[in-house]
Amino acid sequence: MLIDTYGRVATDLRVSLTDRCNLRCTYCMPEEGLQWLAKPDLLTDDEIVRLIGIAVTDLGVTEVRFTGGEPLLRPGLVGIVERCAALTPRPQMSLTTNGIGLERTAQALRDAGLDRVNVSLDTLRPEVFQALTRRKRHDDVLHGLDAARTAGLTPVKVNTVLMPGLNDDEAPDLLAWALENDYELRFIEQMPLDAQHGWKRDGMITAGDILTSLRTRFTLTAEGEDERGSAPAERWLVDGGPARVGVIASVTRPFCRACDRTRLTADGQVRTCLFAREESDLRGALRSGAPDEEIARLWRLAMWGKKAGSGLDDPSFLQPDRPMSAIGG
């Protein structure tokens, strides 16, 4: 069990498979990209599967989310999914992706055992997509979403970040589109995880702004805390349901008290929080020949030291040194 001093138990593991990405989203990294991790620093496929196996069989993890960077850039992704699906007990497995390449891989991932996907899409307008991502790949994402739905990677969730002056007027249109296509839309407040450290609290599009915009066209009914559990998204029934829309308000409505997540970076570091400035090394233990029991002990020790909250509401908050692409979303 991965328990901390506040009594929270981590059962949801987020695994970054690579720090590389084929987009250059303005809220994540600079136009020229970043200095990627060297291949020897990355966990191998075998190391990833071993760590996930320890988490599932020895530490009580029941859900695994593969992230990046962009996880579809990991050559061994399908094989990793297939091997993790064979674990006992079998974890629920999902993938967070920008959708580029999903059209050609969705069915293989489903056949390997992946349960569902989250796809990032911030706009319905190709020109805005290009401005946000610095790439002309809007159609590729739409095709990837369609392929995921066809393959049965459902519910297909769409993650959207609204940025001032770019797509902050699109919330109602995005929700109407998601309802029409049977996708579950989730708006995410922009978080201080950009490599440029250019994030500013003032002027960001908040959960309150998003809900006000949506209510110009839809009736929203709060689902309630009992239904939410430890999920990061607050959800609302749309026009009486059953369709829902979610808002992840990491900045203005932190949900740290119910957090059940532990994170593993692409180079084998445990992170107790997306906004943590400290990490605990498991790669070194793996490569020095440590047995599973020792690795599990190190993981428990790391999680025992998890802080009460993210610190975002503290005026002295400092962004993590590593950007989102290295941490894993």
Tens digits of per-residue pLDDT, 49-83? Answer: 999 999 999 999 999 999 988 999 999 999 999 99
Tokens 């020109």 locate to 127
The side-by-side arrangement of strands in the sheet containing 220-222 is 220-222, 234-238, 244-248, 184-188, 157-160, 116-120, 92-97, 63-67, 12-16, 261-264, 269-271, 280-281
Dig out the tokens for 207 from the structure: 């959960």
Q: Is 20 within 8 Å of 70 (Cβ atoms)? A: yes
Q: Does the annotation flag 212 for ligand binding?
A: no
Question: What predicted TM-score, i.e. pTM, was given to this entire model?
Answer: 0.93
Q: Does the annotation flag 90 for ligand binding?
A: no
Q: Which residues of the chain have pLDDT under 70?
A: 33, 192-201, 225-230, 311-316, 319-320, 323-326, 328-329
Class of domain 2-326: alpha beta
Q: Does the annotation flag 324 for ligand binding?
A: no
Q: Does the annotation flag 84 for ligand binding?
A: no
Q: Does the annotation flag 65 for ligand binding?
A: yes
Q: Does the annotation flag 69 for ligand binding?
A: yes
67 by DSSP, 3-state: which?
Answer: strand
Question: Domain boundaries in the chain?
Answer: 2-326
Q: Does the annotation flag 261 for ligand binding?
A: yes
Q: Is 270 within 8 Å of 280 (Cβ atoms)? A: yes
Report which of 118, 19, 122, 1 is spatially closest to residue 62, judged by C-alpha positions.
1
DSSP one-letter code for 68: S
Q: How far lies 45's CA from each of 14, 15, 16, 139, 253, in Å?
A: 15, 12, 12, 31, 37
pLDDT tens-place string over residues 240-295:
999 999 999 888 887 888 899 999 999 999 999 888 888 999 999 999 999 999 99
Dig out the tokens for 253 from the structure: 């409505």
